[in-house]
Structures are given as C-alpha cells and as structure tokens.
A = this chain, B = another copy of it.
Amino acid sequence: MPAVKRAPTRAKAVGKPAKKPVKRPAAAPLRKRPLPTRVSAVAIDLGVLNDHLGYFVRRLQVWIFQDFIRRLSHIDISPAQFSVLVIIGANEGLSQSELAATLGIERARMVRMLHLLDRRGLTERLPSSADGRRHALRLTRAGQTQLKQAKALAAQHEASLLPKLGPERYRMMLEALREI
C-alpha cells in the first residue's frame, strides 16, 4: 500500500518542548481504493464560479495589486500606503478617523500604519487647533517628494493595464466602477 504515509516529515524541529505528540499524520489514515486521478492535462472546470462576479473581481484585484507592488517595490510603498499618502496629500489637515473611514480601513489599523509612515518621515501628526482629540495629518517635505515618485510609478502601472485588459474594457470598467 503505497502513498500517504509521508506525513512524518521533520517531526519535531524547533517547536516548543512540551506540545503533544504532534498531530503527525495530519491527513488521517484514509485507506480506500484508489481513484482514477485526473485525466491529466485537461483544462479544469470552474463550475458555477463562472457565474460569480466576486471570483473574477478577486482574481483581477490580486493580479493588479501584484503588478502595483512589484513596480513600487523600489520605494517600498504598498497599495494601502499609497492610498493613504494620496488622500493626505489631497486633503491636508484631515483626521485619522476621516482618513480611515474614507479608505475603509479600521481606525486601529490606521494608527499603526501612520505610526510607520511617521517613523519613515513621510507624514506628520499635528495637534488640531479646534479639537484636542484630533490629529491634523499632513505630508512632510520628504513625504511630498516620495508621493510624487509613487504617483509616477503608479501611473506607469496603470498605463500597463490598458493593453493587458484591452483599452475599451479598461475604460468601460473604470467608468462603471466609479459610479458605484
């Protein structure tokens, strides 16, 4: 009986000393008669996934983000960070809550993000004149410079989407999505 007794790979490497005998087998015994496997290189059927917008939107989003991340990897700016910098740059003095709500990011998450951007010297949190609770956000000089570079790279990224998606499809989708 070949197959499937291959679990005990590197039993106890560095884990904590006390930790149960480790659920080694992982994939259960499974002792049934074999199955014809797949017909090999035959295209796999997506089934009802073909009728689900969410599936395709997800795939497209991941694909777009990968290209974006790759192109901005030089300056180490993630899509989320880019959106934060853009919004602050276009709305100097807004609060963290407004920023978070605009981008659909949790307030708590935004705190840590801004903390990082602060440490990198890209953003500032100034005391708000009217409201002692708020922080008025703005870009530092360095932040403005960085944002300019990021925008240039992001524009290249965006331009690269056109041929890959088809110019008509691209414009159609962008227009449709803006309205939603």
Contacts and interface: CB of A to CB of B under 8 A. Distances in A.
Contacts of A22: none
Contacts of A174: 51, 53, 56
B44 A102 contact: yes
Interface string A39-81: 0000011111111111111111110110010000000000100
Contacts of A170: 53
A121 B104 CA distance: 36
A161 interface: yes
Given A27-B118, A48-B154, A64 B54 contact: yes
B89 A47 contact: yes
Contacts of A102: 44, 46
B161 A49 contact: no
Contact of A136 (B34, B46, B56): B34
B36 A55 contact: no
24 contacts: A2-B127, A3-B127, A26-B115, A27-B115, A30-B125, A30-B126, A34-B126, A34-B127, A34-B128, A37-B94, A44-B98, A44-B102, A46-B86, A48-B151, A53-B177, A54-B61, A54-B79, A56-B178, A57-B60, A57-B173, A59-B104, A62-B104, A172-B172, A173-B173
A14 B57 CA distance: 41
